[in-house]
Structure 1
């Protein structure tokens, strides 16, 4: 109902459970999938992992609440473009879907900071291996790329990074694209998580 009344958005399909998602995506070829984590048979995490493993996957926005920390982290590591809280106002849901469809960042800096701060409190499985891997990947960056990566870890927008590092917004965008390619990541949220894994934020 929320998305159906937006001129720029066309709802092309729905799935009642995670096990229906791959077939629905193959049939409808959406640009964006709005994915609930909690579903009866196959949850949204498994469905997200399956979708992001496809050759040309749609972007995935996960619907969640803060009481599912490990699940959200798993979804973001699987390549979800971001998450929306279930009490997100309708207008913001629409904006998030449009941003994702346009290939832009899907999380506001405030929400990104809250999420990463919330998720990185306390022990997580295999922190040493993740830290070592993150440090190894980040060691391959140039000094400037490293600075941009750390700024992403702080949840900075392109404009904020531009002001902080004295470069144009276009240059920041180029660096972000280069980081994604160099680190073999899907989006800036994954760069932020990698920086956190490395203990740099």
Structure 2
């Protein structure tokens, strides 16, 4: 049986200790261990740099088995390059170049989740280099481009303006939150369409 409740009671009863006296301020290194997010404005990016050529070699070694040598995707693994101008199609190609609005999302995902089966094995320089190659594969940077914290915001993501805040709480929710009408809701009821395909609408209006 756990003795935690008894221990806690002893701590709270000792001297003038209260629940507010428990714990201590987090140390800077402890906060840093949890503060892992990379923001769209580049805040949180570590020092480091990587060029397209280095990224191409790393991508071929660690990523191409799933994503293809040029980010075109292998079998059902995701495509990372291409898809420009396809978002309005019936089958859009949502790649880093065609769909992702923020470069920070790509950096953070690659650094923390890739490569598949060996996540968090890439250091900051390798992550910068691989992402630089992916930007080049999407025709967003030149072949001599070096990605770093300083050059991060110079990359213009094509679909950056393609997203907008979720406003359903103010535009849709009130529309469907009204009390239902139970009587005298409409002055006139008319048949606007016949379900002829299902053969459930009588042909004779009198019926």
Which of the two has higher C-alpha Rg? 2
Structure-2-length-normalised TM-score: 0.25
How high is the TM-score relative to the length of structure 1?
Answer: 0.26
Structure number with higher helix proportion: 1
